[in-house]
Amino acid sequence: MKIEKKELVDELIERSLKGEKLSISRLISMVERSDEYAPYIMEKISPHAGKAYYIGVTGPPGAGKSTTVDRLISMFCKNNLSVGVIAVDPSSPFSGGSLLGDRVRMNVKSEKMDVFIRSMSSGRVMGGLARTSKEAARILDACGKQIIIIETVGVGQSELDIAEATDTVVVILTPESGDSIQIMKAGLMEIADIFVINKADRPGAEDISTSIRGMLKRSLRKRDWDPQIFMTSASISKGIDELYAGIWSHYDHLDENSRLEQRRKRQLRQELHTRIENEFAKILWDMVHKKDIEQVVNDAWLRRADPQNTAQQFVWSSLRDSGLWPQKQ
Amino acid sequence: MDRKIKVVMAKLGLDIHWRGVYLVSQFMKEAGMDVVYLGNKFPTEIVEAAIEEDADVVGLSSLSGNHLALGPIVVDMLREKGLDRVKVFMGGVMPPDHAKRLEKEYGVQKVFLPDTPMQEIIDGINAAVNNTH
Ligand code: B12
Ligand SMILES: Nc1nc2c(ncn2[C@@H]2O[C@H](COP(=O)(O)OP(=O)(O)O)[C@@H](O)[C@H]2O)c(=O)[nH]1
Ligand SMILES: [Mg+2]
């Protein structure tokens, strides 16, 4: 039974690497659902990944992210590049279900376009991506897509995960995004490689562009890249050529002085750090889980002990009790 | 089954009516399903989306008379592409005997006509999908 499934998975992987859509789609689902074979799939897939150029698109809901992605897909395809898209939308915190609408704007106009679009619901993750967005992107990369575009949830609060998952971050705003404080609060100034003021057909586009330029000038952070600002009207395809060229100019910048390598290594370091931490935590929790946390809560409550010290004592006494740590230092 | 049902929903062809498909999609979401809404799409795009999204269910809404012209094409194309396990549901306005034909002759799992209670639709989808897993 087990062996049969492994053979099935191996076949799926083989077909996926040849670019067969149905198999790629199944693989993504298995990883998305934390199938027992998910780690195996990622192990087999990863050596083939890393060739694609990863572009992140973020910004508040309704700014025109999906519309812009649609236009960019056309541009890449026109230049004979294959494109994989991961489009993330929020889940309902109540039912866990979701209504994913990004595909409404995305239309593949011709059979010749080599495009794979996958929608994902964010689940309970807060960073703008789904738990397995990165894995899905890696699968598309490994299976031959040359350009990977990831569209975030766009709740405008904590969209920073995208900067850890992509080579170029495009932040899309509109004249209505107005208030520069909002932009700063969302941390968008820090992560944007390219700003787009979309819906430039509406009044106020110049103002917001000026205020972004001002903020960038005042920012004390040292950059080796000056974020560019583009005005677009994605729904009528205005300004898309310039944006497309701008994206490639950021790629050219990354291509020099091994900046791309540095960026990806930094991301990898960050990701590994988080994953190792999680793994450690999981193991340690398993070892001490016999200890009742409710009892500690109650203890702290009665003694009015502060949580920081309580937590520290909990960890140390757990370690000693489990024999992982010598009784006396 | 311990996983969410994934549904690809479309307004068939150029059908302009959106209230029904929107309501049904909302209810599916509240019932814990992942619904990928496509807006207006033709069969080729709908099937392409079903492949890329690894859908369990394709839902088609048709209120302006294209149900017999386009519905069966979607079912055929899905089968051609090897997506035998994908269930196709339809809804909207059509003569009841057309609905029967879509179910009996053209492989549509079930057609839901106007005024069907939402829970009936959700239950129908849950039952059909759980049968195959
Ligand atoms: C509102 C309406 C419109 C609005 C639509 C705006 C909107 N909000 O969507 C407007 C004014 C734009 C409109 C336009 C037209 N309409 Co109109 N419209 C209606 C009307 C009055 C109500 C539709 C509605 O919203 N119902 C409420 C929703 C909740 O019900 P529902 O959509 O049927 O959905 C239920 C089920 O069908 C099912 N369901 C629906 N979709 C799906 C999908 C799935 C997957 C599932 C599982 C279930 C499901 O679940 C829902 C809950 O039970 C109907 C009359 C009627 N009695 O249906 C005519 C009606 C549908 N329209 C009709 C026509 C002819 C048109 C036009 C062609 C008119 C014209 N000549 O221009 C155009 C359409 C142009 C086009 N390209 O599509 C006819 C269709 C005749 C036919 N099919 O044989 C109807 C029946 C009126 C009539 N008696 O003649 N219309
Ligand atoms: N006026 C105007 N509307 C636009 C423009 N680009 C997109 N829209 C509309 O804005 C709405 C939201 O677009 P969408 O791409 O779904 O935004 P997202 O939520 O950021 O992905 C849609 O109704 C689009 O048609 C634009 O350049 N000008
Ligand atoms: Mg979108």
Q: Which of A31, A28, A96, A39 is nearest to B5 (CA)?
A: A96
**Number of domains comprising chain A:** 3
Q: Is residue A298 situated within a structural domain?
A: yes
Q: Is residue A157 situated within a structural domain?
A: yes
Q: Which amino acid is at A33?
A: R
For A138, the token pair is: 């890696």
CA distances from B26 to A98, B22, B32 (A): 8, 6, 10
Do residue A225 and residue A240 come from a single domain? yes
> What pLDDT, in 10s, does the model give residues B23-57?
999 999 999 999 999 999 999 999 999 999 999 99
A96 and B82 within 8 Å at the Cβ level: the answer is no
For A137, the token pair is: 């992107």
**Ligand having the closest approach to the CA of A119:** 3
Is the pTM higher than 0.80?
yes
Do residue A93 and residue A221 come from a single domain? yes
Instruction: Measure the CA–CA gap between A237 and A214, rounded to whole angstroms.
Output: 27
Do residue A215 and residue A244 come from a single domain? yes
Q: Ligand 2: does its nearest atom lie under 6 Å from the Cβ of A105? A: yes
> What pLDDT, in 10s, does the model give residues A6-35?
999 999 999 999 999 999 999 999 999 999
Domain limits for position A140: 49-257
Q: Which amino acid is at B49?
A: A
Interface test with B, best of A23, A103, A109 (most B CBs within 10 A): A103
pLDDT band at residue B1 using 50, 70 and 90 as cut-offs: very low
**Cβ pair B13, B46 in contact under 8 A:** no
Say what the ipTM of the complex is. 0.94
Do residue A133 and residue A100 come from a single domain? yes
> What pLDDT, in 10s, does the model give residues A234-263?
999 999 999 999 999 999 999 999 999 999
> What pLDDT, in 10s, does the model give residues A211-228?
888 888 887 777 889 999
Q: In this structure, what DSSP letter does residue B109 have?
A: S
Q: Ligand 2: does its nearest atom lie under 6 Å from the Cβ of A44? A: no
Q: Is residue A289 situated within a structural domain?
A: yes
B37 and A33 within 8 Å at the Cβ level: the answer is no
> What pLDDT, in 10s, does the model give residues A112-163?
899 999 999 988 777 778 889 999 999 999 999 999 999 998 765 556 788 8
Pocket residues for ligand 1 (CB within 6 Å)?
B 14-21, 23-24, 59-61, 63-65, 89-93, 112-116, 121
Instruction: Measure the CA–CA gap between A58 and A131, rounded to whole angstroms.
Output: 17
Q: Which CATH architecture has domain B6-132?
A: 3-Layer(aba) Sandwich (3.40)
Do residue A108 and residue A73 come from a single domain? yes
Task: Confirm or reject contact between B3 and chain A (CB < 8 A).
Answer: yes
* Separate counts of helices (H) and strands (E) for chain A: 12, 8
B3: nearest CB among A33, A117, A121: A33
Q: In this structure, what DSSP letter does residue B39 have?
A: E
Is the pLDDT score of A265 beyond 60? yes
